[in-house]
Amino acid sequence: MFPERLRALRHGQNITLEQLATDLNKQYPGPAEKANTSSQIGNWERGVRTPSYVEVRKLAEYFDVTMDYLSGKADHDEYDLSKLFLSGKQLTFNHKVLTSEDRYELFQLMDGYLHGKNRRTTHPDNDQQEELDLGLDENKK
């Protein structure tokens, strides 16, 4: 499961083996860390070699997924969008970088939608039509 997930994450972000090795080496420099190579990562993706715990942790942090997801223990990786919007990571939508103002506005829109969703009810005559309960008394209209 690990080789497939690693390959899918890398391909999903259009990252080459060389780029991933370079990025990991920049993200985790130091004498205690052994430099990653593209052939090493390729061996992990092919299932020829198994990475150490430290390497799996580095990959999970790099791709912003859990180690359980990477190892196949979890079927899907759940991520709280509010944390993503509040993180310092660059976000894009349709290949356009979102500014901090865009991120804030989108966060507010989603938050408002989800809070309002609790107050909407489905009209009994039409399953598709929703109405919003504004808290107005029918007799006062």
DSSP letters, 75-90, are: SS----HHHHHHSSS-
- On whether the pTM is more than 0.75, the answer is no
Query: How far apart are the C-alpha atoms of 70 and 110, rounded to whole Å?
Result: 28
Would you list the domain boundaries of the chain?
2-71, 81-132
Of residues 124 and 51, the one with the higher pLDDT is 51
CATH class of 2-71: mainly alpha
Cβ count within 10 A of residue 60? 18
CA–CA–CA angle 12, 13, 19 (5° rounding): 125
DSSP characters for 36-52? P-HHHHHHHHHTSS---
pLDDT 10s digits, 85-133: 777 778 888 889 989 888 888 888 988 888 887 776 655 555 555 555 5
